Structure 1
């Protein structure tokens, strides 16, 4: 194991990871801006060739994309599971005159209300004009989101929602939402059905056309068209990549150890300095690389103290996407989380596609402890890693599993965490653990370990043991 005492070869952003900002400021822009300014470290040194992160780089920065929000209407009474269904228990719409969209979801007024029933959709391909088969939309999405009591959760913008579903370029939609009426045929004995939530709306998301079907362009950083918000998001990775970069390059093990010393050297013990346990930093496509419209999110960044654990998720968006489409899928999820669900930013800290490419999620800096909205009750001091796709019945690719392990080995290694170990996290409140309870969790856990949910899907959850052992090996343990 290489020794790194006293090494300072690269000018990485020093001591910025430990910056703490109260989670309660998440949706208070004026307070948040002040808090972010107060928490900002001194101007960092930059790597060779990196543009200094001082001042906004202005210019045109419009990113295409849109959301069509369509109210649902009661559908004619029918029968399901052998029982009569009244119009109030089934809603939907059929439209063949909508603008192009690629991702769908259903939202409703109260985020605390669950949708007890089914959501099915079919869409018309814009390329061929043919209608798809009916597809199920995952209705259990209340397990994601900001912790109870935080400003992001209580700011009055949050809506209940299904998971988003990627359907590809479409121009027609047919939707039906049915309340769960139970399996019994004896109406007198059956429990009354739970009504559908109020304010049901279908969200049709167009991700826009940039950076394009060929994926992110990573040859040269582009700074001439950065808005102020885009400049801030890029500058949060200062020292790791030049301002405006579309990717943060991979490092080998030795250079990652030197980076660790520059990032957290003052907090390392002599033993950690002599033999650091950290995996080599993987290549990470930045928000700039996947084409994030930084004007959508709330301003500023919110940090927690550290990253003691990683929660693995699946996005439940389906597996019918090409890896070249991943930037479009992420832009769609981002827009759905912010514009449709009312979150301050995309919920996950990182996303991984089925080809094993790692993408930056919530803004604030990939090496910093950014507060996400991925595991309700356990967002503080944790990182959310989402594999793009649905893995309840389908196995995740080996490339995705390996990428999650590499990412966890690096990110958790920045905070001295053993991927095969256990840690305590204090619950912020959820359906498994009450607020304030200290919970003993695996350092690499699945979403379902902190909240009663199917996420990250049975097939991906079964890979967590492999991810833990592989990540530990990458750390040299």
Structure 2
């Protein structure tokens, strides 16, 4: 370790370097919202600089490549004659960013600066300590600082007023431009939907997973477009709900060009994954001072991806960070508009339409502004400094929070609210749960996925919310739900327009056959399909037919009535049966059957509608409905249907008409309840025999 040297405080502006995820840039004028004056004015608009091809800092590093050189600072002699105090100088490098790591006790301060090609030094930048996005623990290193093209780098570090720069390893990050970074090819505008809900207001861009952004979404530069190296990242987690949006700044240098923004993002990704060993960038969105919005952390922009941007408040929040330091002046208005556009899209899309609404957080970690274990109430939109021991997003930017909240609420109020209105109409979160995926195109539909349901619309029209346990599995080819889900014996089913979804043992299957429990190979499957096609049966609301279930006496008459074309009739106001009332299901059909002589009921004046109908009674019903044709009995046909049997003649007619063959053992089982599959076979053969 090198000898220590006293270090005097630096007079330069303190700059906090953090990672962030950005929001899309949509000017307020596009969204139909007036600008709002503020006590702290926004910075000037983004400079109108010419779009020029970028030259790489290092000719050996090109095409968007990022290279990191590790330099153990103890191997370099300290510079002791600098007026700002002792430092370590790394000469003959080609750097655009720098970060530092250490082992053991952390330094109290780390400062960096770069020397440009013309020999001028940048202001000192204080590198903020990094926090592990997976654990929330302080990392043994800093965040990377953007320097721009630098050919020498100075590092200062102190602890207790003494120089400890020799304990650090500097990581010289050399980024390079791509042709796509020149400001002309980053955006691929598509059929986006702006906050007004009008197609074409802003562009919609597909993320690397092929997920298009939907209604109210701003234009975003996807990870594929800014050149993310996906081989560097690991899996991330998602949350089942979004509680709020957190605003940040990266606190890096403001002197970057529009074309250099993508380089910064690529450099951050490389440093975080290669040097610090993290899974990805910490923030969900990054916004540059020109209003460009970058998809930062992977996992899908429509999801509630858990980031690493606000210690103790990462789960259930979306981190939006504007690239630069906004301690003395607020960002350009175009960048503020972009941040508010992203925030409005995420909040309205997750049904958080009131940004003043308070939500509770339980603080599960030390190091925040609040005691560990405490419960805190926060609004839907707040700044990093509201929960962390930091000045982020800078005093000037934070001074505009009140105006930004007003603007944000206006954007939410004037955005496309088709799915939000459907959500409320259906009963809100009590019925549908919380939003897991905001509205996005899915086939010909626009889909919102919730924990207990889905919301579907045809583009931006016909928005309807449905409770369903199949929300995560739903596919456009299923169509809309046509029934509620039901569970029988541990199997959950729900009928959709084009089939039935079945959940059994944790596995979801979807059957496009008419009834999920009637496969084509089943005996009488064709007959069941035919009576369904004729409108004689609709099956159960869960998409089943239940072929092995018995059929009741009332339903049997209803089937016959439908098979006859549902003839019109006027049932009597006074019921002809003691156990029926005019409000009884199938009352009209049963009265019609009585009037036609198809049924007579029981001698005690009852009909017993919910009793299973016996096979012998079905024979009688069908025979009478056919006009009671004469039949030559030809003697006993079945061993259990003697000539003296009540329905001997009717059962004999079924045999002669080819409607039944009985059982292989020569029996008919006249007193047995008829199952629904056999009933279908009887009905189809009866229709054929009678020419219907």
Match of 1:452 in 2: 389
- 1:20-39 per-position Cα deviation (integer Å, ceiling 9, x unaligned): xxxxxxxxxxxxxxxxxxxx
Match of 2:101 in 1: 107
Please report how far the alpha carbon of residue 167 of structure 1 lies from its aligned counterpart in structure 2 after TM superposition: 1.8
- 1:226-278 per-position Cα deviation (integer Å, ceiling 9, x unaligned): xxxxxxxxxxxxxxxxxxxx98945353369xxxxxxxxxxxxxxxxxxxxx9
Give, in whole Å, the separation in 1 of the partners of 2:191 and 2:263: 19
Match of 1:397 in 2: 332
Give, in whole Å, the separation in 1 of the partners of 2:110 and 2:148: 22
Gaps of 5+ in 1: 1-61, 183-192, 221-245, 257-277
- 1:46-88 per-position Cα deviation (integer Å, ceiling 9, x unaligned): xxxxxxxxxxxxxxxx962211111112754859999xx8xxx
Match of 1:339 in 2: 274
1:465 correspondence with 2:402 = yes
Question: Paired residue for 2:154, among 165, 175, 199?
Answer: 175
1:330 correspondence with 2:265 = yes
Q: 1:375 to 1:198 in 2, by over 3 A?
A: farther
Give, in whole Å, the separation in 2 of the partners of 1:80 and 1:94: 14
Match of 1:132 in 2: 120
Match of 1:34 in 2: none
1:313 correspondence with 2:245 = no
Question: Paired residue for 1:348, among 283, 286, 295?
Answer: 283
1:364 correspondence with 2:299 = yes
Match of 2:505 in 1: none
Please report how far the alpha carbon of residue 208 of structure 1 lies from its aligned counterpart in structure 2 after TM superposition: 2.9
Please report how far the alpha carbon of residue 383 of structure 1 lies from its aligned counterpart in structure 2 after TM superposition: 0.8
Q: 1:248 to 1:440 in 2, by over 3 A?
A: farther
Please report how far the alpha carbon of residue 279 of structure 1 lies from its aligned counterpart in structure 2 after TM superposition: 8.1
1:476 correspondence with 2:456 = no
Match of 1:92 in 2: 88
Please report how far the alpha carbon of residue 91 of structure 1 lies from its aligned counterpart in structure 2 after TM superposition: 5.0
Answer whether contact 1:119 1:177 (CA < 8 A) is retained: yes
Answer whether contact 1:296 1:339 (CA < 8 A) is retained: yes
* 1:200-279 map, 5 Å: 200-215=168-183, 217=185, 249-254=192-197
Gaps of 5+ in 2: 1-62, 200-213, 415-692
After TM superposition, the structure 1 stretch with the greater mean CA deviation from structure 2, 371-380 or 428-437, is 428-437
1:68 correspondence with 2:101 = no
* 1:26-37 map, 5 Å: none
Please report how far the alpha carbon of residue 204 of structure 1 lies from its aligned counterpart in structure 2 after TM superposition: 1.5
Answer whether contact 1:148 1:428 (CA < 8 A) is retained: no
SS of equivalent to 1:409: helix
Give, in whole Å, the separation in 2 of the partners of 1:302 and 1:399: 31
SS of equivalent to 1:402: helix
- Aligned residue pairs total 335
Ranked by relative contact order (alpha carbons within 8 Å, sequence separation 6 or more), the top structure is 1
- Normalising by structure 1, report the TM-score: 0.63
1:412 correspondence with 2:391 = no
Match of 1:443 in 2: 380
Give, in whole Å, the separation in 2 of the partners of 1:423 and 1:198: 46
Match of 1:421 in 2: 357
Please report how far the alpha carbon of residue 380 of structure 1 lies from its aligned counterpart in structure 2 after TM superposition: 0.6
Match of 1:303 in 2: 238
Please report how far the alpha carbon of residue 457 of structure 1 lies from its aligned counterpart in structure 2 after TM superposition: 1.2
Q: 1:122 to 1:137 in 2, by over 3 A?
A: same
Please report how far the alpha carbon of residue 121 of structure 1 lies from its aligned counterpart in structure 2 after TM superposition: 1.9
Question: Paired residue for 1:164, among 137, 144, 151?
Answer: 144
Answer whether contact 1:350 1:361 (CA < 8 A) is retained: yes
Q: 1:338 to 1:367 in 2, by over 3 A?
A: same
Q: 1:219 to 1:326 in 2, by over 3 A?
A: closer
Q: 1:429 to 1:103 in 2, by over 3 A?
A: same
Q: 1:455 to 1:402 in 2, by over 3 A?
A: same
Answer whether contact 2:109 2:126 (CA < 8 A) is retained: no
Please report how far the alpha carbon of residue 434 of structure 1 lies from its aligned counterpart in structure 2 after TM superposition: 3.8
SS of equivalent to 1:284: coil
- Normalising by structure 2, report the TM-score: 0.45
- 1:276-301 per-position Cα deviation (integer Å, ceiling 9, x unaligned): xx982111111011111111112x33
Please report how far the alpha carbon of residue 94 of structure 1 lies from its aligned counterpart in structure 2 after TM superposition: 2.5
Please report how far the alpha carbon of residue 105 of structure 1 lies from its aligned counterpart in structure 2 after TM superposition: 2.0
RMSD: 3.1
Q: 1:70 to 1:76 in 2, by over 3 A?
A: closer
Please report how far the alpha carbon of residue 216 of structure 1 lies from its aligned counterpart in structure 2 after TM superposition: 6.6
Please report how far the alpha carbon of residue 93 of structure 1 lies from its aligned counterpart in structure 2 after TM superposition: 2.9
Please report how far the alpha carbon of residue 404 of structure 1 lies from its aligned counterpart in structure 2 after TM superposition: 0.8
Match of 1:121 in 2: 113
Give, in whole Å, the separation in 1 of the partners of 2:239 and 2:273: 21
Q: 1:212 to 1:339 in 2, by over 3 A?
A: same
Q: 1:281 to 1:139 in 2, by over 3 A?
A: same
Kindly name which structure, 1 or 2, has the bigger radius of gyration based on alpha carbons: 2
Please report how far the alpha carbon of residue 339 of structure 1 lies from its aligned counterpart in structure 2 after TM superposition: 1.8
Q: 1:248 to 1:372 in 2, by over 3 A?
A: farther
SS of equivalent to 1:209: coil
